[in-house]
Amino acid sequence: MKLLYFTLILSIATIFFVVRQKSADQRNSVQALLDSYKDSLQDYGIVALVDDGKKTDTGSVGFSYNKTPINTKNRFCIGSCTKMYTATLILKLQEQGILNIDDSIYHYVSQHRNVDSTITIRQLLKHTSGVTDFSKNDFINKPLVDPLGDYSDSLIFSLLDTVDFEKGYRHKYSNTNYFLLRKIIETTTGKPYETVLQENIIKPLGLKNTFAYYSNNIALLAHPIIDGQDLQDISKVGTNTISKGIGNIVSDVYDVNKFIRALLIDKTVLQPATLALMTDCRQFKKDKVGLGLFEENYGGRAVYGHPGRQVSYISYAFVDAKTGHSFVILTNNANDGYAEKIIVQLCGGK
């Protein structure tokens, strides 16, 4: 009888240990995945987050700078993920009756020979305007070489030297679309972009680690590393100027996750009809495009969100609205070759 009792206790203890171990393995699945890339990251790092609405699983691997381990408290410039925030601001202004996304932009933007004044705000949001990208010919990287040069709005307008296609019929990603949207936000509100972002997104959502600008003075900023070179000491004045509203927001994995979940899963940022407009994605060849976001397929999973790339960072911020999962990956190396593989793996791929 004692042997039977001991065997029963041992079995229960074994089951309890297995359950706890399985639970721990599940909680640490993101870290385990990132650890498999540990030997590949020599001078930069990657952080990742998966949230299923009940628990948040995070991991980090590599370095913030100079062999200092990176962690989930580090902040990163999120690059073109910024466009999702800018699109949200435009849609909030429509809800407030300040503008209509089917307005022609001549109401808000000065005339230009290579910008069709009948382009609508909606076409800017979807990259179907045909306006050429001012950042072509590697101009986007010029601030690294000449950080204190002229990057004024007038200079950017002077770079619009052609029209790529007739509005509305094609899709072509262009940073100029979101430069113009930033101008519209500032024109219609009479406030700087940073203030509008603070009032409509950062403050209402309680984002404590999100900044409407990119600066070397932001604490816990993971240094931008490219080809082994630390670019932290280069002035970000020029980069910040040309990428305002386009690709200059700085944040951490937790705040990015909080934003995309509030927007696309909890649905507390926009009204239902407005969110339906934002997530109504149309197929243009290989791209499925909404208003300020894309529908992608990673690891066999359909997700909404936006990737980003900035000097020198890469970001992925996506949600699976059907299952309630969100995925965020941030790295401080724009030449990284692993972040896309990791988002595929986190979403369920090989």
List pLDDT tens digits, range 33-85: 999 999 999 999 999 999 999 999 999 999 999 999 999 999 999 999 999 99
Crossing angle between the packed helical segments 82-95 and 175-189, to the nearest 10 degrees: 40
Q: Angle at Cα 216 formed by Cα 210 and Cα 218, nearest 5°?
A: 35
User: Mean pLDDT across the stretch 201-228?
Assistant: 96
CATH of domain 39-346: 3.40.710.10
Nearest C-alpha neighbor of 60 from the set 76, 44, 77, 47? 47
Domain range annotation of the chain: 39-346
Q: Specify the 3-state DSSP secondary structure of 140.
A: helix
pLDDT band per the 50, 70, 90 thresholds, residue 166: very high
User: Mean pLDDT across the stretch 320-333?
Assistant: 97
Rounded CA-CA distance 251/161 in Å is 34
Q: What is the pLDDT of residues 101-129, one digit of tens each?
A: 999 999 999 899 999 999 999 999 999 99
Rounded CA-CA distance 92/141 in Å is 31
pTM value is: 0.92
| Mean pLDDT over each residue of the chain, to the nearest integer | 91
